[in-house]
Every structure is written in C-alpha cells, then in structure tokens.
Amino acid sequence: MELLWNDLSVLRLIHRSTEQVEVAGSIPPPGGCRAAELLDCSAEVEISNCKTETGKLNFEGRLCITIAAADETGDTFAFVGEIPFSHCTENADFAAGMLSNALPAVAVLDMRLAADGAAAFSANVNIDFIVTSA
C-alpha cells in the first residue's frame, strides 16, 4: 500500500471581532440655503480599503448622509454629504498580506442643527471583520 500526501491549501482563522468607530463632523447645506430645521436623516457606510500590515489592520471608508431640512420660510430641501474616515486595530497575530474582510453598519446617527445652519452629526459605525491566513 502506498500513502500519498498532499498539502491542502486551507485558510486559517486568525481573528474575528467587531470594532466601533465614531465619525463626527458637519455638512453645510447646498448653495445659499440655510437650514432652520432638520426634518430627517439617513446614513449608509462603506469600507473602501481593509488591509493588514504587521501587527495591525487598517480600515478606510466613507459615511454617506442624506438630510432633509426646511429653511426659515418652511420650504423643504435635501442634501447629501460624504465624510471619509479611517481606523486601525492592532493585534500581534496580524501579518502583512493576510486576507481580511469587513462588513460595516451604522449603529447610531445623531444629527443637530449647528449655529451656522449646517447639519452637525455624530455617528457610531460598527465594523465586523475577519482576518484569515493567506
């Protein structure tokens, strides 16, 4: 009887976790509009880059916010803003070239009207990620 050995190429789970990132800023209304009241808002988040380096995992993404507002006369208008963000998580097991995947979700979005008529916001983004061997 002859035994044949083959190396199997199987990904090994290195780390799986969730990170929470706070993204804050303000979005000015378009043109000469000035918001007197914020009526509604929604947000979407995407990760554009998720890359491992020695000892860390870097995320880059953007938060897209859609805002409905009313001016002093009651006329309504909507506007959209995109805010880039980045985050880094450290782990001694991470090595350059490892495979990584991230799934973001907006957990909390808080909007308020700033004194200059812009929409000031604070958002918490949960990023579920997995790192596997290459």
| DSSP per-residue letters across 90-103 | E-TT--TT-EEEEE
Residue showing tokens 């782990």: 91
E strands in the chain: 13-27, 37-53, 56-70, 76-90, 99-113, 119-132
What confidence tier does 94 reach under pLDDT thresholds 50, 70, 90? very high
Residue-averaged pLDDT of the chain: 93
The pLDDT value given to residue 117? 84
Q: Average the pLDDT over 90-99 and give the result.
A: 95
Residues 84, 44, 25, 16, Cα dihedral to 10°? -70
Which residue type sits at 66? T
The pLDDT value given to residue 39? 95
The pLDDT value given to residue 9? 77
Q: Average the pLDDT over 67-94 and give the result.
A: 95
What confidence tier does 116 reach under pLDDT thresholds 50, 70, 90? confident
Quick check: 8 pLDDT over 80?
no
User: So where are the chain's domains?
Assistant: 13-129
Quick check: 74 pLDDT over 80?
yes
Considering the entire predicted model, what is its pTM?
0.84
3-state class of 72 per DSSP? Answer: coil
The pLDDT value given to residue 38? 94
